[in-house]
Amino acid sequence: MDNRLDLDGKPIRPMTICMIGAGGFIGSHLCEKLMTETQHTVLAVDVYNDKIKHLLEQPAGGQPHLWVGRIQFHRLNIKNDSRLEGLIKISDLTINLAAICTPADYNTRPLDTIYSNFIDALPVVRYCSENSKRLIHFSTCEVYGKTIGSFLPKDHPLRKDPEFYVLKEDESPCIFGPIEKQRWSYACAKQLIERLVFAEGAENGLDFTIVRPFNWIGPRMDFIPGVDGPSEGVPRVLACFSNNLLRHEPLKLVDGGQSQRTFVYIKDAIEAVLLMIENPDRANGHIFNVGNPDNEVTVKQLAEIMTEVYSKVTGEPPLEVPTIDISSKEFYGEGYDDSDKRIPDMTIINRQLGWNPKTSLHDLLDSTLTYQHKTYAEAIKRTMSKPAATS
C-alpha cells in the first residue's frame, strides 16, 4: 500500500483531505476506500456520522483498525462555522460533497435548495482559492438540463442521433425549463457554482476538478422513509422503489416512468474519484462525467428489473400489480419538470484517467437490493405491525 504509483508512474504521497459531506452516501464509500486502500488522512466534516460510524469506532475487544488515527470527524455545519477555513488550511485537498440533492426538495424547498447548493458552497471555494488549496467540487448531471433532442417532434429521426442527446462536458449546452418550474432551482444553483469554480481557476489560478455524477447507486444511498429518514420524506428513485418493495406496495411510476436514466455502481464511481484525487496533473482544470452509458433504462424498466431482482433476493413472489402510474403533480407538487434522457459522454474521463465502469445494471441492483433487504426488512416489518395512532 505504501509504494502505490499514480498513472504516470510517480509515487503517491500521503495527503490530508478535508471532506465536506463525508457522512453521506458518496462520502461514506469514499472514506471507506481511502481508509482501506490508501495512506491518506481524512478530516471528515458533516453534521451526521451514522454512515461512517464503522470507520470511526474501534472494534470492541478486537484488533484496532489499520487506519487508526487517519480519520477524524468534525461535526460542523458549513453554513456558519468559522472552523471550516482552519480545516481547509491544514489540508492538501478539499472535496465538497455537501448538497440538497433529492428532487422532491427542489420543488417544495427551492430556497433551501438554492442556498445549500450555491450560497453555502461559496466560502468553500473562496477558502480554497485564497489559501491556494486544490478543490474537487461535486456537481451533478442535472446541470445539463434537457437534451437538444427533447425539443424535436416526438417521432423526429434526429432524436435517435447521439449528437442530439449524448451529454459532453465541454460542448453540451445547459438547457433548463421556465422559472416557474422550480425543479430547476437545483440544476441552476449547481451550474452557477460550477461557473464560479471555473472562473476562480481562470482568474485566480484555483486548482479544481468538477465531478458530474450520473445516478450513482449502491448500499447506504438516501434513506428509507419512517426507518432512517422522515416518514413523509421522498428520497430518490432507487430508495423510493426499494421502500415500495420492502413494504410490498406497488412501485409508483411518475408520469408513466418514461424518463430515461443511466445508473452506475457506487464502487465503480469511487474508483474514478480516487483517480482524480491521486492524479492532480491529469484531473486539474477538468469537468468529468462519471456514469455508465451502458446501463440505460427508462424508469419503468428500472421498476420491472428491481421487482424481478428483489423477488430473487427474498424468494418472495412479486405483486400481481407491481407498478402504478401517478402524475408528477400528484407526486412532486406544482412546478415539477424533468429531463428526458441522461447519457454521459465518456471521452474526457477515459482519455485523462483511463476510467471505465465495470458493473452491469443487474449486478449493481442485486448487490444494492440484497443490502436493502438485509438492513431494512425487519425494521419495516416492525413499523408496519404497529397499530396506527388514533386521534
Residues belonging to the active site: 186
Q: What are phi and psi of 356, to 5 degrees?
A: -140, 135
DSSP H or E run through 72: strand 71-75
Residue type for position 212: R
Q: Which of 172, 116, 209, 220 is nearest to 342 (CA)?
A: 172
Residue 298's Cβ-count burial label (10 Å; 0-12, 13-18, 19+) is middle
Who contacts 294 (Cβ-Cβ below 8 Å, separation ≥6)? 262, 357, 360
Residue type for position 77: N
C-beta of residue 218 within 8 angstroms of C-beta of residue 268? no
C-beta of residue 189 within 8 angstroms of C-beta of residue 100? no
3-state secondary structure 281-349: HHHCCEEEEECCCCCEEEHHHHHHHHHHHHHHHHCCCCCCCCEEEECHHHHHCCCCCCCCCCEECCHHH
Distances (CA, A) of 214 to 104, 106, 117, 144, 289: 18, 18, 17, 11, 7
DSSP H helix total and E strand total for the chain: 14, 15
Q: Which of 307, 301, 220 is nearest to 265 (CA)?
A: 220
Give 237-242's long-range contacts (Cβ < 8 A, gap of 24+): 237/261, 237/299, 237/302, 238/263, 238/306, 238/368, 241/302, 241/303, 241/306, 242/306, 242/368, 242/369, 242/372, 242/376
DSSP string, 173-242: --B---TT-TTHHHHHHHHHHHHHHHHHHHHH---EEEEEE--EE-TT-S--BTTTB-TT----HHHHHH
